[in-house]
Amino acid sequence: MCGCDWPPDAPPRPRLPAQPDHAGLPVAANALPASALADLRAAIGADHVLTGDALAGRDADGWQVDRRGRYLGRAAAVLRPASTAEVAAVLRIAHAHRLPVVPQGGNTGLVGGSTPDGSGRELVLSLRRIDRIRAVDAANLTLTLEAGCILQTAQDIAAEQGLLLPLSLAAEGSCTIGGNLASNAGGVQVLRHGNARALCLGLEVVTPAGEVWDGLRGLRKDNTGYDLRDLYIGSEGTLGVITAAVLRLHPQPRSTATALARCASAEAAIALLQAALAGSGGALAAFEVMNAASIALVGKHLPQAVPADLPGDLDASQAWTVLLESADASDPDRAQATLEVVLAAAIDDGIVDTAWVAQSLSQSAAFWRLRESIPLAQARDGLNIKHDIALPTSRIPAFISQADAAVQALVPGARHIDFGHWGDGNLHYNVMAPEGVAPADFLARWEGPINTRIFDLLGSHGGTISAEHGIGRLKRDELARRHDPVALALMRRLKQALDPLGIMNPGRVLPM
């Protein structure tokens, strides 16, 4: 996930439906066998096995509803083990009783992967108490920590060493490292440093049967058999439970610079991406694109978030605004010089019409504020149809042109709010109701048909229906319909091999 769907000013907890005695949905009594309950209490302490009233009284922790309030469930119990050994004990009990287990970190995911369903049968396994820093090895540029660590805490620990943990996303104050790895989180630094997958050197994992794999290696080269690490990363808790990880750190950049550039077309924006990559090498740290409608929407709802000196032709229908960021490890002036050279050449080559390089930290912050205000401006305008998709960067212009035409053919006047991490090929291609049409009516009538067209087009351009948010419950059936059938069969075999009883996060990623 990234900041694109995360409402920046939303309250930390969504409002729940009024229910007198519990936080989630109603549940039949006795969902958990008494012997299993007794075993769990013995294993991790009765205080950390929350059921019934105890669970209802802890609503504020939000175990049964995701942070956006889209998935409301009801757990048989919430389990809060304090160590890897306790996780293993919990899983041995769940395994023996064949109880479904939903691993959970900050529960900030966007696809229903870490929230219990409404059956009242699932055990929520919260990793939040398992949050120790196990080792800081600055000379190896690694940090070993437990799954329940908050991402921002991990960033702070790296910064104390003068180092950078380049995983950054809007939920970083509440999401956990375990959840980041289980969902292979993306964010705003992927262009330079890769997804969560690229930042992980080793894992500790508890299998569904309660075995502990100690793969906490801090090695950059290790060719000793199958790549278990990458199999668990991104598997969304359906194969086992990540309890600790070795993360790779990077030197802190000594300078960064930010610029906005205006391109007349999506093709020109992609040409600028190529030029910026070639001209700055590994120094290009961000390449975010916003269409004119996105900026106009910010201007409508959050006018203070549009930098004052941007020219007034922002809503010209063909204009695209690019936010570029460059970082340099060795030279305090170099990042800005790099951007200036790249942009001057791009203007000479007719790729860029106008550009502004931030001359101060506050200007740089203002440029980012424009980009980061789009989701909130959208939220203020009402519901819309969101797509977290990715394409080969070379295909983005053709895709947008064809997708726009397809949407207009279905719903003339529908508004296109296009923005995202184009440097990674990641688009947030969102569609809003035409002016004057009620958003809820628009979604009810058109979400299905529009998604079908968009997903069909993605298939023809080699794109993906989930770039960074994952599958969870939200896209499970779409994946089953659209993914390569051999890949799906292989995934089912892997699930069967590693979780033969099917107790790990059932119904997420793959159908039960």
| Residues in 246-285 that interact with a second copy by CB under 8 A | 250-251, 253, 270, 274, 277-283
Q: Min. distance of Cβ 483 from a second copy in angstroms?
A: 6
Q: Min. distance of Cβ 393 from a second copy in angstroms?
A: 5
Q: Min. distance of Cβ 450 from a second copy in angstroms?
A: 20
Of 72 and 247, nearer to a second copy (C-beta) is: 247
Of 119 and 265, nearer to a second copy (C-beta) is: 265
Site for a second copy in 427-466 (CB under 8 A): 462-466
- Residues 6 or more apart whose CB falls under 8 angstroms from that of 407 comprise 414, 416, 431, 450, 453, 454
351 is an interface residue for a second copy by CB under 8 A: no
Q: Given candidates 296, 494, 501, 502, which one binds a second copy under the rule CB under 8 A?
A: 494
From 125-133, 171-179, 421-429, 439-447, give the range in contact with a second copy by CB under 8 A: 421-429
393 is an interface residue for a second copy by CB under 8 A: yes
What is the per-residue binding string for a second copy in 159-198, x denoting contact by CB under 8 A? ---x--------------------xx-x---x-x--x-xx
Of 35 and 274, nearer to a second copy (C-beta) is: 274
Of 110 and 306, nearer to a second copy (C-beta) is: 110
Q: Is the dihedral of CA 439, 442, 447, 452 positive or negative?
A: negative
Q: CA–CA separation, 306 vs 366, rounded Å?
A: 8
Q: CA–CA separation, 257 vs 276, rounded Å?
A: 13
481 is an interface residue for a second copy by CB under 8 A: no
Q: Given candidates 126, 235, 258, 505, which one binds a second copy under the rule CB under 8 A?
A: 235
Q: CA–CA separation, 498 vs 500, rounded Å?
A: 6
- Residues 6 or more apart whose CB falls under 8 angstroms from that of 90 comprise 40, 43, 44, 79, 81, 101, 123, 125, 210
Q: Min. distance of Cβ 384 from a second copy in angstroms?
A: 21
Of 228 and 379, nearer to a second copy (C-beta) is: 228
- β-strands 123-126, 77-79: how paired? parallel
Q: CA–CA separation, 495 vs 501, rounded Å?
A: 9
Of 314 and 396, nearer to a second copy (C-beta) is: 396
Token pair for 300: 């409508």
Of 111 and 319, nearer to a second copy (C-beta) is: 111
Q: Min. distance of Cβ 329 from a second copy in angstroms?
A: 3
Q: CA–CA separation, 86 vs 9, rounded Å?
A: 37
Of 62 and 186, nearer to a second copy (C-beta) is: 186
Of 191 and 298, nearer to a second copy (C-beta) is: 191
- Residues 6 or more apart whose CB falls under 8 angstroms from that of 222 comprise none
Of 70 and 220, nearer to a second copy (C-beta) is: 220
Of 80 and 476, nearer to a second copy (C-beta) is: 476
Q: Min. distance of Cβ 72 from a second copy in angstroms?
A: 24
Q: Min. distance of Cβ 335 from a second copy in angstroms?
A: 10
| Residue (of 417, 428, 347) closest to 382 by Cα position | 417
Structural contact between residues 483 and 468, judged by C-beta atoms closer than 8 angstroms: no
Site for a second copy in 194-233 (CB under 8 A): 195, 197-198, 207, 211-215, 217-228, 230-231, 233
Q: Given candidates 392, 449, 459, 511, which one binds a second copy under the rule CB under 8 A?
A: 392
Q: Min. distance of Cβ 198 from a second copy in angstroms?
A: 7
Q: H or E segment at 37?
A: helix 34-44
Return the residue matching tokens 């351009």.
461
Tell me the DSSP string of 81-101.
-SSHHHHHHHHHHHHHHT--E
Q: Given candidates 5, 172, 372, 424, which one binds a second copy under the rule CB under 8 A?
A: 424
Structural contact between residues 375 and 417, judged by C-beta atoms closer than 8 angstroms: no
Q: H or E segment at 177?
A: helix 177-182
| Residue (of 239, 207, 209, 240) closest to 96 by Cα position | 209
Site for a second copy in 125-144 (CB under 8 A): 137-142
Q: CA–CA separation, 36 vs 240, rounded Å?
A: 20
Q: Given candidates 125, 479, 503, 504, which one binds a second copy under the rule CB under 8 A?
A: 479
| CB neighbour class for 17 (10 Å; exposed up to 12, middle 13-18, buried from 19) | exposed
Tell me the DSSP string of 180-244.
HHHTT---TTHHHH-SGGGGEEEEEEE-TTS-EEEE----S---SSS-HHHHHTTSTTSS-EEEE
Q: Given candidates 425, 428, 433, 507, which one binds a second copy under the rule CB under 8 A?
A: 425
Site for a second copy in 290-329 (CB under 8 A): 327-329
Q: CA–CA separation, 58 vs 169, rounded Å?
A: 27
Q: CA–CA separation, 229 vs 409, rounded Å?
A: 45
What is the per-residue binding string for a second copy in 87-126, x denoting contact by CB under 8 A? ----------------------------------------
Of 183 and 321, nearer to a second copy (C-beta) is: 183
Q: Given candidates 239, 293, 306, 400, which one binds a second copy under the rule CB under 8 A?
A: 239
| Residue (of 54, 59, 61, 183) closest to 112 by Cα position | 183
Site for a second copy in 325-344 (CB under 8 A): 327-330, 338, 341-342
Q: Min. distance of Cβ 31 from a second copy in angstroms?
A: 29
Count the site residues for a second copy by CB under 8 A: 96
| Residue (of 137, 1, 118) closest to 64 by Cα position | 118
Q: Min. distance of Cβ 490 from a second copy in angstroms?
A: 6
Cα→Cα distances 155→128, 165, 169, 251, 253, Å: 17, 5, 11, 13, 14
